[in-house]
């Protein structure tokens, strides 16, 4: 006779909440599309260097789009702009997915949500090649 | 009397500490959840490891999202000081691997951020077996990311923390 409990205790056998948002098929289309396209959009944004804005921390100044390093302003920071570009692209694609019929949006393979961020890692490591090259020269 | 520089150091050290506390909460919640999905407990009670795995994982989802966003925002704020006061000395000291890993960390933090909507949705529909594999995958990816972010941040702080 088995002494084990048939229903898993910890894997989420019961619903955490009955929130309307979590039950919405439109939100499902938005959330899954946002998360699937987010890592791809981020890699594309970094590769193409498309920040929405550039920030200069030494002077506290913001500039729209990409602004190169200026000796009078100190180093520039692009990561904030890249992150915002990614969020805007992923959100726009998520909104488009919400407008599609459910039979279309349901076909989105859900495993891409965890696969794309893993596949993004080699690109991210490659994008930091200047650091690794400098380290190799030591 | 306190000099402006030490006041500034105290200011950033407090924010770094807030970042650490938020990160610790996030790390704990995600590790519990990851253990719960990777090694689900099918029998109540047991030892400390079983109890660690036997948490009600779905109840952590919203907290994880909120903590990830808050940790991300506080980290983004500290990053402005890092770029001037920490990264430049790191480069001058030829700590290139450390600088590279910090940039790696910032990329991973954003990649994790964009996973949160699907992660939250999968956990809020934990009763639906259709999402089991995706929920398990995204939770494990987020947990690995969180451990990576935490370790890199910790090592970087040891290399040149804000009090340095």
pLDDT value at A125 more than 80:
yes
Q: Which residues of B touch A107 (CB under 8 A)?
A: none
- Check residue A3 and give its pLDDT: 38
Distance of alpha carbon B150 from alpha carbon B26, whole angstroms: 10
Q: What is the DSSP letter of A74?
A: B
A72-105 pLDDT, tens digit per residue, is 888 999 999 999 999 999 999 999 999 999 888 8
- Residue B43 included in any domain: no
Tokens 């894997």 -> residue? A11
pTM for the whole structure? 0.87
Assign B16 to helix, strand or coil. helix
Mean pLDDT, rounded, of chain A: 87
- Check residue B139 and give its pLDDT: 96
- Residue B35 included in any domain: no
Assign A54 to helix, strand or coil. strand
Q: Do A46 and B107 touch (CB under 8 A)?
A: yes
In angstroms, the Cα distances linking A128 to B31, B97, B99 are 28, 10, 10
Distance of alpha carbon B138 from alpha carbon A112, whole angstroms: 9
- Residue B16 included in any domain: yes
- Residue B89 included in any domain: yes
pLDDT value at A61 more than 80:
yes
Q: How many CA atoms lie within 13 A of B3 on its CB side?
A: 3
| Gyration radius from chain B CA atoms | 18
- Residue B48 included in any domain: no
**CA distance to partner chain B, nearest, from residue A7 (Å):** 7
Nearest chain B residue to A84, by CA: B110
Structure-block tokens of residue B90:
């790191």
Q: Do B99 and A131 touch (CB under 8 A)?
A: yes
Q: Do B123 and A10 touch (CB under 8 A)?
A: no
Predicted complex ipTM? 0.86
Distance of alpha carbon A30 from alpha carbon A8, whole angstroms: 29
- Residue B164 included in any domain: no
- Residue B32 included in any domain: no
- The number of domains in chain B is 1
- Check residue B162 and give its pLDDT: 57
- Check residue B156 and give its pLDDT: 86
Domain of residue B128 covers: 5-27+57-159
Q: Which one of A8, A12, A111 would you mutate to disrupt binding with B, by most B Cβ within 10 Å of its Cβ? A: A12
A88 touches chain B (CB under 8 A): no
Q: Do B57 and A135 touch (CB under 8 A)?
A: no
- Residue B50 included in any domain: no
Count interface pairs A-B at CB distance under 8 A. 177
The answer to whether B23 and B150 have CB atoms below 8 angstroms apart is yes
B144 touches chain A (CB under 8 A): no
**CA distance to partner chain A, nearest, from residue B124 (Å):** 6
Q: Do A57 and B99 touch (CB under 8 A)?
A: no
B30 touches chain A (CB under 8 A): no
């Amino acid at each position: 006779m088995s002494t084990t409990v048939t229903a898993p205790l910890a894997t989420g056998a019961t619903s955490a909440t009955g929130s309307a948002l979590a039950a919405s098929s439109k939100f499902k289309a938005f959330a899954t599309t946002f998360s699937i396209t987010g890592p791809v959009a981020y890699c594309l944004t970094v590769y193409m260097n498309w920040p929405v804005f550039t920030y200069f921390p030494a002077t506290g100044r913001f500039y729209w789009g990409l602004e190169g390093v200026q000796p009078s302003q100190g180093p520039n920071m692009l990561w904030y702009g890249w992150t915002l570009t990614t969020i805007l692209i992923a959100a726009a694609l998520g909104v488009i997915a919400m407008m599609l019929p459910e039979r279309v949006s349901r076909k989105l393979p859900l495993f891409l949500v965890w696969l794309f961020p893993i596949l993004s890692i080699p690109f991210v490591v490659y994008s930091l090649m200047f650091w690794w090259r400098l380290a190799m020269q030591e | 009397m306190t000099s402006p520089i030490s006041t500034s150091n105290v200011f950033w050290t407090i924010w770094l500490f807030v970042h650490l506390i938020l990160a610790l909460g996030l790390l704990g919640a995600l590790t519990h959840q990851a253990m719960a999905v990777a090694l689900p407990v099918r029998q109540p009670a047991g030892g400390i490891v079983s109890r660690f795995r036997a948490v009600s994982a779905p109840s952590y989802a919203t907290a994880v999202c909120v903590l990830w966003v808050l940790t991300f925002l506080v980290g983004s704020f500290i990053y402005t000081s890092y770029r001037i006061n920490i990264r430049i000395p790191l480069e001058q000291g030829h700590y290139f691997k450390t600088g590279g890993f910090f940039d790696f960390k910032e990329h991973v933090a954003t990649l994790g951020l964009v996973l949160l909507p699907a992660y939250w949705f999968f956990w809020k529909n934990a009763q639906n077996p259709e999402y089991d594999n995706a929920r398990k995958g995204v939770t494990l990816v987020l947990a690995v990311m969180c451990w990576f972010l935490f370790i890199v941040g910790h090592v970087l702080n040891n290399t040149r923390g804000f009090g340095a």
